[in-house]
Amino acid sequence: MRSVTVTGKSVEEALKDALSQLETVEEQVEIEVIEEPKKGFLGFGGKPARIKVIEKPDVLEQTKAFLEKVISNMGVEARIEGVKKDRDLYFTLSGEKIAILIGKRGQTLNSLQYLTNLAANRFSDRFVRVVLDAENYRERREDTLKKLADRLADKAIHTKRDVQLEPMPSLERKVIHLYLKDKKGITTHSDGNDPHRRVVIVPRNK
């Protein structure tokens, strides 16, 4: 976390100089006015403004620190790699006991992701989305969801009855909605409230 102390004829002038040195914008810094500018008498005894400008911690770093603390409190050692893409934060977890962090059907991983999303949006001035993955679980889970979607869509068509899936987080529901979007004979929608919201597959011709 970088900081600079600068002087200027006014606070505004000093701030402009500080932002230039830090190569950032005002929304990303905290400003501490050390001395207000003072006008002298007949051109003598004046003092410039003096301020300290501190760069705010990066949302990725803050979120990673939060995640590290939560995982440590769970008694698990894990390596965490993070990257920011636009408004999304992606974290990859790895380690010997990584299965503990994934949990049955990814329930623990999804709960960690939910908590980390809440934390990240406290650290950020604008909405961000967090995605957690471990041992390539998300890709493997996506393949499983697509196979499940195919099987249950065929069941809905064959029985001409709605088929409800188990409750899933929004990312997993989105996978199924997109995958079945162009499948003939059925439509999909989500029903219920989180965390019990689920995908419903509806045959077109009941």
Q: Which superfamily does CATH assign the domain made up of 139-203 to?
A: R3H-like domain (3.30.1370.50)
Peptide bond into 57 cis (omega under 30): no
Which among 29, 37, 26 has a CA at the least distance from the CA of 3?
Answer: 29
- Tell me the percentage of the chain whose pLDDT exceeds 70: 96
How confident is residue 175, by pLDDT bands cut at 50, 70 and 90? very high
Angle at 24 between CA 80 and CA 10, to 5 degrees: 145
Which residue matches tokens 């102390």? 5
SS3 107: helix
Closest to 54 measured CA to CA, from 123, 4, 109: 4
CATH 3.40.640.10 for the 59-135 domain, yes or no:
no
pLDDT attached to residue 43: 61
Q: What is the mean pLDDT of residues 33-51?
A: 79
Q: pLDDT grade, residue 29 (50/70/90)?
A: confident
How far is Cα 49 from Cα 16, in angstroms, rounded to an integer? 12
Asked if pLDDT for residue 182 goes beyond 80, the answer is yes
pLDDT of residue 18: 86
What is the C-alpha to C-alpha distance for residues 69 and 111, in angstroms, rounded to an integer? 15
> Which is higher by pLDDT, 32 or 27?
32
Strand 49-55: give its sheet, edge to edge: 3-8, 49-55, 29-35
Residue 100 has pLDDT above 90, yes or no: yes
pTM exceeding the 0.75 threshold for the entire prediction:
no
pLDDT score recorded for residue 42: 61
C-alpha angle with apex 92: 104 to 28, nearest 5 degrees? 125
Question: Which has the closest alpha carbon to 53: 18, 16, 20?
Answer: 18
Domain boundaries, the chain: 3-55, 59-135, 139-203
Q: Is the pLDDT of residue 44 over 80?
A: no
* CATH annotation of 3-55: 3.30.30
